[in-house]
Amino acid sequence: MDHTAAQLQRLAIAPQQLQDQRIDLTPDQRHYLCDVLRLAHGDRFIALNGQGKLWLAELLPNAAEAVTLQALDEQTELAVPMRLLAAPPKGNHFDQVVRSVTELGVSHIVPLISQRTLLRPSPNRIQRWQRIATEAAEQSHRQIIPQILEPVLFSEGVTQDKDGDNWQRYICIVDAAAPNFLHCLSQAPHWQRHTGVAVMIGPEGGWTDAEKQQAQAAGYQAVSLGQRTLRAVTATYMAVSVAIAHLELQTAYEGGTVCTKKSP
């Protein structure tokens, strides 16, 4: 992608909106492009379908449609998918969690209903979180829009990601005796293209002993995020950041792009 295209506004479209290079814009999209951004006939933007494909697009005269000019080649996604299973805190704190972890690169977000979870998300709230994820994906130049899955009970969540034998699974707990999360990541088997990582973060009240035992029985390794006790939201940011930083560093080593210190 050239520098000019990289500066263009991005707009997520549903796959069915694209027919034979024509994009049928929704009223909200037309309002955003024409009234908010002040784009007009002939102006360009980048359309993404949220499933990995992007196109350079141009507005047509009637402003209700756009046309794709060319497919764009861009790679901003992680080498493997990352799934976050988190117990939403009360209030609107999970809005920012969804926004931030989308920017960081998470591919799936699962609201987890544990024994001490205070918030039971409604369908409207799930839809709101999906809109937030879409906006964050556009802003952060993601190719994939994370899926906000339906809330699941803890007992279902611990088995939800077992669609691949090579997934690495971690449950973050408050226990100084538990192995450090970063150390466990560094000792994990070599990342492969068909592997993924799942990270589970509990509610403000923490996990019950039964939940920790159930998760470990399902293949989740109990890990610590350090010696300090973190709020659930803070723990989520830290766990996701540590996992993604480790993954991207390992990918950089494989690609030979890691910086090395020059001798004086």
pLDDT tens digits along 215-226: 999 999 999 998
Query: pLDDT tens, 27-64?
Result: 999 999 999 999 999 999 999 999 989 999 999 998 88
What pLDDT does 217 receive? 93
DSSP for 116-136? T------HHHHHHHHHHHHHH
| Phi-psi region at 140: left, alpha or beta (left = phi > 0; alpha = psi -120 to 50) | alpha
pLDDT at 107: 94
How does DSSP classify residue 207?
A: -
Q: Are strands 108-113 and 152-153 parallel, antiparallel or unpaired?
A: parallel
- DSSP character at residue 82: E
Q: What are phi and psi of 127, to 5 degrees?
A: -60, -40
The CA distance from 90 to 204, in Å, is 9
Is the domain covering 82-254 a CATH 3.40.1280.10 domain?
Answer: yes
Please state the domain extents for the chain. 3-72, 82-254
pLDDT of residue 263: 46
Q: Which pLDDT score is estimated for 264?
A: 44
How confident is the model at residue 120, as a pLDDT?
87
| pTM metric for this prediction | 0.86
Regions of the chain with pLDDT less than 50: 3, 263-264
pLDDT, position 254: 65
pLDDT value, residue 62: 85
In CATH terms, 3-72 corresponds, of 2.40.240.20, 1.10.540.10, 3.40.50.11540, 3.40.718.10, to 2.40.240.20
* Helix-helix angle 232-255:93-104, to 10 degrees: 0
Supply the pLDDT for residue 191: 55
208: left (phi over 0), alpha (psi -120 to 50) or beta: beta
| Coil, helix or strand at residue 67 | strand
CB atoms near residue 171 (< 10 Å): 24
pLDDT of residue 78: 86
Neighbours of 182 (CB within 10 A): 16
Question: What pLDDT shows up at residue 173?
Answer: 95
